[in-house]
Amino acid sequence: MNSIILDTTAAEQFLSAGAVDALKEKAVAARAALEAATCPGNDFLGWLHLPTSVTPDIIADIQATAKTLQEECDTVVVAGIGGSYLGARAVIEALGDSFAWLRDKRDAPTVLFAGNNIAEDYLAELTDLLRTRRFGVINISKSGTTTETALAFRLLKKQCEEQRGKDTARRVIVAVTDAKRGAARVTADKEGYKSYVIPDNVGGRFSVLTPVGLLPIAVAGYDIAALIDGAQQMERATADGTAFDDSLALRYAAVRNALYAQGKKIEIMANFQPKLHYVAEWWKQLYGESEGKQGKGIFPASVDLTTDLHSMGQWIQDGERTIFETVVSVAEPEKTLLFPHDDENLDGLNFLEGRRVDQVNKMAELGTRLAHVDGGVPNIRITLPRLDARSLGALIYFFEVGCGVSGLLLGVNPFDQPGVEAYKKNMFALLGKPGYEAEGETLRKRL
């Protein structure tokens, strides 16, 4: 595999001399602490060797389940939220045809997502659409008790059973959840669904390389063996004992922490390829939930470029100088399209005739990076050789290990998310869930 390239030169030029050097030893020590499981959150380190623990048998089993769903369904709905859907969606959208659902001919079922919001219109429109579909469901929840997912699954299960009959529903509903706990596990066992276990020691946002991500990605028709192969290669390239200067993940973690220490509080992930939109959404959850705690943490934001240069470009170029930018670039597009000739040349663009559209995009990227650096925005660039499963697997693991190290450098436990509970408690109290009535009364008086 041509590897991922990390270029931090245009970020380090903003840092005081020795700022990154000062973090080298700490970064190496943080990586060693992950390996030795001596860091905070050490009961959630199952992701660290996940790629190399995925055997061909595991892949074959997931592919067999995917095949059943492919044969029996034209549409598969993934019910899940946060780490229980973002990784799958990121990979599926990155590898997919931008207009897949409008094509007359499709090789694999359309994969849709639900259980990641509680919007009545969304769910009503989805259930309406599904009335004419041969659909199946992948119900993904580590806790098995998440309200958004449970609500969507309740609707989907009922509809699937009514439309397709109980027996077929049993074959086309699959659960990915805890081994023992939670409603999703109880339902799966009671109904006899095929099910997969999310290991106890793998947190939701680190779970994309388990069946949480692998099953939906395989159903959508993408090569999960290549995805895992890419992740395995990155696991080896960032292994404990790798020198700081040889480990992309250690450098990424150190540079972003050095920038943070010098007042750069917001990291904006920028892509020049709309298919990467959900990669940024996945990355935002990974870093946001891992680092945003105890009053600390870089705020992860994202833009799709060049689209957002016409909306957020002004702010990035000229707004408060508390940001830095991480561009995820793809060296070689999968398709080829040349800029056409126009006899009238009214737009004055004939000088581009015969050049690849990607060449224009790359110059837009370079021009933007230079402009932002001139505007005082440190710039990190991550280049993928191609937008394929292998590169995405490597990128996923790179960000995961970078996140673990970065959180430890920041001085937080990167593997918990205590802040996520607050809204749930209020919501249950306001809805009058048994046991929460008293809090509900108090809350209602407040706003």
Through-space distance between the first and last CA atoms of the chain, rounded to whole angstroms: 56
Beta-carbon contacts of 420 under 8 Å, excluding residues fewer than 6 positions away, are 82, 289
| Active-site position among 105, 190, 310, 335 | 310
Q: Toward ligand PA5, which CB reaches closer, 205 or 293? A: 205
Instruction: In angstroms, give the least distance from the CB of 293 to ligand PA5.
Output: 13
Question: From the CB of 388, what's the least distance to ligand PA5, in Å?
Answer: 26
Q: How far apart are CB 203 and ligand PA5 at their closest, in Å?
A: 5
CB 382 within 8 A of CB 329: yes
Of 267, 289, 291, 400, which one is the catalytic site residue? 289
And the tokens for 389? 């499963």
Name the nearest CA neighbour of 384 among 326, 345, 315, 321.
Answer: 326
Interface residues with ligand PA5 (CB under 6 A) are: 81-84, 141-143, 146, 149, 203-205, 289, 417, 420
Residue with nearest beta carbon to ligand PA5? 204
Q: Residue 248 CB, nearest distance to ligand PA5 (Å)?
A: 23
Closest distance between ligand PA5 and the C-beta of residue 283, in Å?
13
Give, in order, the Cα–Cα distances in Å from 373 to each of 179, 275, 316, 319, 321.
49, 25, 10, 13, 11
Residue closer to ligand PA5 by CB (options 83, 109) is 83
Q: Could you give the C-alpha distances from 201 to 50, 52, 104, 215, 267, in angstroms and in order?
A: 11, 16, 42, 19, 28
Q: What is the DSSP string of 42-62?
A: GGG-TTTTHHHH--HHHHHHH
Question: DSSP letter at 345?
Answer: -
Q: Of 149 and 368, which CB lies nearer to ligand PA5 in the complex structure?
A: 149
Catalytic residue flag (residue 310) = yes
Which of 67, 158, 424, 425 is the catalytic position?
424
CB of residue 143 vs ligand PA5: minimum separation in angstroms? 3
Output the smallest distance, CB 252 to ligand PA5, in A: 20
DSSP code at position 351: G
Query: Which amino acid would we find at residue 254?
Result: A
Q: Token pair 């109980």 is at which residue?
A: 166
Would you state the structure tokens that stand for residue 118, as one six-digit string? 């509680």
Q: Which is nearer to ligand PA5, 205 or 372 (CB)?
A: 205
Name which of 236, 201, 244, 283 is nearest 409 in CA terms: 244
- Residue placing its CB nearer to ligand PA5 in the complex, 142 or 251: 142
- Beta-bridge partner residues of 141: 177
Torsion angle in degrees (nearest 10) through CA of 353, 359, 362, 367: -40
Helix (H) or strand (E) holding 140: strand 135-141
Q: Please list, residue by residue across 15-26, b when 16 or more beta carbons sit within 10 angstroms of its beta carbon and e when fewer do.
A: beeebbeebeeb
Q: Smaller CB distance to ligand PA5: residue 52 or 145?
A: 145
Tell how many helices (H) and how many strands (E) occur in the chain.
18, 10
Q: Which is nearer to ligand PA5, 148 or 388 (CB)?
A: 148
Least distance to ligand PA5, CB of residue 218, Å:
19
Nearest CB to ligand PA5, comparing residues 51 and 87: 87
How many Cα atoms are found within 13 Å in the side-chain-facing hemisphere of 444? 11
Q: Distance (Å, rounded) from C-alpha 161 to C-alpha 191?
A: 11
Q: Which residue has the tokens 């000229």?
A: 318
d(CA 187, CA 129): 25
Residues serving a catalytic function are 289, 310, 424
